[in-house]
Amino acid sequence: MNKWCVYIVRCADDTLYTGITNSLDKRLQAHNAGLGAKYTKSRRPVALVYMETAADRSAASKREYVIKRLSRAEKMVLIEGASLSTE
């Protein structure tokens, strides 16, 4: 079973979109194919700029709620403090 995660993508128009998924690769492919969220459909391509894992869907949803309420400046601080290296 895949772990849930919260992610932020940067859209082609330099806006940020926050979402949750239990299959990040598939979700990013869906966003870039125009099959993801309505918001990103017209703002392709998108690029992953932030990701954090969550214990379950509930925890991911709660964290998404918190992140979505951050200002753009606060989101940028979160993104800049993160490392997307693959481990």
Average pLDDT estimate for 25-29:
97
Q: Is residue 69 helix, strand or coil?
A: coil
- Nearest of 44, 52, 38, 43 to residue 5 by alpha carbon: 52
Rounded Cα gap, residues 10 and 15, in angstroms: 6
pTM of the predicted model as reported, rounded to 2 decimal places: 0.91
- Dihedral over Cα of 64, 69, 72, 73: its sign: negative
> Tens of pLDDT along 30-87?
999 999 899 999 999 999 999 999 999 999 999 999 999 999 999 999 999 886 654 4
Q: Which domains does the chain have, with CATH numbers?
A: 4-80 (3.40.1440.10)
- Dihedral over Cα of 26, 27, 32, 34: its sign: positive
